Chains A and B, each alone.
Chain A
């Protein structure tokens, strides 16, 4: 599957809480190059997670353009977005969100159940994904038999098993200790460097953000700063 550029133009998104109007994104424009690793930082309420949800087709903007590769998400119906997500995006959450009653392999297999794919092929892909994250020997373990780091690895395997263009990670290390966080971030870097995945990661942690080639700082729904990370190979990226 080919990687995709992400283009956001003049995005507006407001939430209503009773009579109060809360702006989450206020005219944000941004381009993220295919195959880059971008970290998004900012204080709570700055619009980081909203931005991630819009790129992932989980939410719709009030106005503006959202393009991921050849797809105009802002023009797609909920049903189309659901189908698109299953093929083009992998999600990684802070709390892993593994299904407790399923084994690691069954959790990783979940996204593949949405495809017409023979069971043999599914098993092969699951095994490969778990091997990539270093958990080939934990296939039959349930989440409660795994450590937090291992659970997040399973979640990463679930995110990559469909070979998506884009991986969206929302505070993927927020619930992990420093050492395990490093391992997870190294794994994400590997997915970016070796497999060419576009990674967009929301984080509060500057040490985690340092793994990105580019660090975007959001504040009050607008792009406050756009930094290139000199410690990582530069990615062709720019903000409007």
Chain B
């Protein structure tokens, strides 16, 4: 049997200052790691739900996003020539949704409206849009075609002020047309949930637009989306087409870059945590040389001593890990679960809901066990090599 757990547990608190500092360092690493893992999961989730392989987004050739694309009706009408597009079972019309996207600056909730961020406002024809964007589900009524009404994605509603039911949002070229919020919608957690939708003709009129921004197109279930894209990009139509997955993968490029930077930061902090634990454990070993010598004398082998000190460091790291998870949860609870980021070329805000799930917490704690074990390895090795006779003589 190894040394009793109570021995290691109590020894963790023998040096309160260094222990507290180490716990705080580890907590910072774990807190950030939990947050970043939650963010990465949200990003993956967004990409996963925005990966409808049979939905194609069409923009003008040379444009990189809907925000910078203009698709005149004449160009849009060419899409009716494309074969392989799904059709409405009742009307027989091809499922192609003309859409217009503009950005509006709305006050953020997280700083009580002191700053604003761009939100995408999408004008759609509800009949066609809901047939193409199958993951969009209404929570409440849809906007009336004859009134200045909008519906709001649930993440946009969480992020921005003034988007409650009944609130009026000023839209239009001169910001002079009040659109009333009449309902919400979800999109399986995907990027569309960060948007505001209104009736296409009304919004085109409000923004004095005579061109759409893009078209969303549903490919028939038994057709190859790639062949549809080839037709759209071919000489007859000459537009740019991307599957939804490819489009959002491109749009989330900035977010992925951000994640890489934060991950690098976590790695640097992890090295600091390993050093901090190593420092604490070196102090522990130095202060307990005679105790270790006594343990060796009464029959504890080098292996048991080594494992004991590694276990002690892991306990220390887990304390920091527990605190870090708590801090991360508190941050998400009190500061906000939703993180907004700009799309790579749309310059509109994409919101991600970050959750510290039990699985993410488990992964963060597993990482912390590794950090603890790594930090303890050299000091524990030193403890195991304590020469009992010399240490006892010093006593």
**Which residues of A come within 8 Å of B, CB atoms?**
49, 53, 56, 58-59, 79, 82-83, 85-87, 91, 93-95, 97, 99-102, 106, 109-111, 113-116, 158, 170
Contact = CB atoms under 8 A, between A and B. Distances in A.
B10 A101 contact: yes
Contact of A99 (B2, B7, B293, B392): B7
B211 interface: no
B295 A110 contact: yes
A158 B14 CA distance: 23
Contacts of B290: 95, 97
B6 interface: yes
B363 to A, nearest CB: 32
A120 to B, nearest CB: 14
Interface in B261-314: 290-291, 293-301
Given A85-B298, A86-B300, A114-B298, 10 more contacts: A82-B296, A93-B294, A99-B291, A99-B294, A101-B10, A102-B6, A102-B7, A102-B10, A113-B1, A114-B300
B4 A95 contact: no
A49 B298 contact: no
A58 B388 contact: yes
Report which residue of A49, A58, A95 has the largest number of chain B beta carbons within 10 angstroms of its beta carbon: A58
Interface in B116-167: none
Interface of B: 1-4, 6-7, 10-11, 14, 290-291, 293-301, 388-389, 392-393, 395
Contacts of B298: 85-86, 91, 110-111, 114, 158
21 contacts: A58-B297, A58-B389, A79-B301, A82-B296, A82-B301, A83-B301, A85-B298, A85-B299, A86-B300, A91-B298, A93-B294, A95-B290, A97-B290, A97-B291, A97-B294, A101-B10, A110-B3, A110-B298, A111-B298, A114-B1, A158-B298
B387 to A, nearest CB: 9
A87 B296 CA distance: 13
Contacts of B6: 101-102, 106
A93 B395 contact: yes
A164 to B, nearest CB: 10
Given A58-B388, A85-B299, A114-B300, A95 B395 contact: yes
Contacts of B395: 93-95, 97
Given A101-B7, A113-B2, A85 B301 contact: no
B15 to A, nearest CB: 12
Given A95-B290, A99-B7, A101-B10, A59 B301 contact: no
A82 B389 contact: no
Contacts of A59: 389
A52 B291 CA distance: 19
Nearest to A112: B1
Nearest to A155: B294
Nearest to B293: A97
A56 B297 contact: yes
Contacts of B299: 82-83, 85-87, 111, 114
Contacts of B393: 49
B231 to A, nearest CB: 76
Contacts of A102: 4, 6-7, 10
A115 B294 CA distance: 17
Contacts of A97: 290-291, 293-294, 392, 395
A93 B293 CA distance: 11
Nearest to A119: B1
A93 B392 contact: yes
Contacts of B294: 91, 93, 97, 99
A66 to B, nearest CB: 15
Nearest to A115: B1
A168 B395 CA distance: 16
A140 to B, nearest CB: 12
- Of the listed residues B291, B297, B298, B388, the one surrounded by the most CB atoms of chain A closer than 10 A to its CB is B298
A99 B294 CA distance: 9
B306 to A, nearest CB: 13
The 8 closest A-B pairs by CB, nearest first: A86-B299, A101-B10, A97-B294, A113-B1, A85-B299, A111-B298, A59-B389, A82-B301
